[in-house]
Amino acid sequence: MKQNGRLFLVFFFLFALISPLWAQNPGPYLGIYVGGQFLAPAESSDSLGSFNLEYKAAPSGSVVLGWELEPGSDIGEGRVELEYTRRSNRLDQAEFSDGKVAADGDLTADSLLFNAFGVYRSNSVWTPYLGAGLGIARITAADLSVTGQSLSDDDALVFAYQFGLGTDIALTESLIIDLGYRLFSTSKAKLKEANGEEFKLEYLSHSAMLGLRLSF
């Protein structure tokens, strides 16, 4: 099994290196992405003070609908797109001033962002890109608990943004593989605790993404 995996990787990179340069295909495209994402330990606070929540790494999934700009466009080389992403992580533990304790529950971020990416084109199928996005996210705390005691079961709509970089690999004129990284964050979510008090939560996620885009 391991040998087959190595052969696949060797074939993939040789293919990318020796393939001819296909022309870009300006116009609309549709893409799907999967990834592994790490939710950074988040500082949280309530009426009793501040504490940190730590989460387990988890997969993520995205769907994008975008437009590839014409080469030499007045607004630059690249693409613009609308992206929906779901990120959901299991709460692992909570850290207070006197130590860490067990915690449970799920924290989910459903985001809708408008992204703009600039690209650097060369005589290669590899096309590096860099960009950013702005939008909104719904942060959902599902049965969050600390040491078995209910913490929060609420949701909030917040401002969201991200930064992204990576490289596109042209397989054909209309089919592209995207290898990328995303840094995603939001403004503090204001949730309700089980006792009705306000609970503020930070959100910052790092994601490694693998995508497939199809131009029309």
pLDDT digits (tens, 9 = 90+) for 71-99: 777 777 899 999 999 999 999 998 887 88
What are the two backbone dihedrals, phi and then psi, of residue 68, each rounded to the nearest 5 degrees? -85, 125
On whether the CB atoms of residues 157 and 138 are closer than 8 A, the answer is yes
Q: For residues 143 and 104, is the Cβ–Cβ distance under 8 A?
A: yes
The C-alpha angle with vertex 35 and arms to 7 and 160, in degrees rounded to 5, equals: 155
Distance CA 11, CA 17 (A): 10
Q: Which backbone phi and psi does 48 adopt, to 5 degrees?
A: -90, -10
pLDDT per residue rounded down to tens, the chain (216 residues): 555 555 555 554 544 444 444 446 789 999 999 999 999 988 887 766 788 899 999 999 999 999 999 877 777 789 999 999 999 999 999 888 788 899 999 999 999 999 999 998 877 788 999 999 999 999 999 999 988 888 889 999 999 999 999 999 999 889 999 999 999 999 999 999 888 888 889 999 999 999 999 998
SS3 15: helix
- Residue 169 identity: I
pLDDT at 1: 52
User: How confident is the model over 178-188, as pLDDT tens digits?
Assistant: 999 999 999 99
Taking the C-alpha atoms of residue 135 and residue 83, their distance in angstroms, rounded to an integer, is 9
Give, in degrees to the nearest 5, the angle at Cα 159 between 150 and 194.
Answer: 15
Q: What is the pLDDT of residue 10?
A: 52
Pick from 178, 159, 141: nearest CA to 62: 178
Domains of the chain (ranges; CATH) run 2-215 (2.40.160.20)
Sequence-ordered list of residues with C-beta below 8 angstroms from that of 154, at least 6 positions apart, any chain: 140, 141, 191, 192, 199
What pLDDT score was predicted for residue 9? 54
Task: Count other Cβ atoms within 10 Å, centred on residue 13.
Answer: 11
Share of the chain above pLDDT 90, in %: 60
In 3D space, the residue among 161, 167, 166 whose CA is nearest the CA of residue 183 turns out to be 161
The pLDDT, as a whole number, for residue 16 is: 47
pTM: 0.84
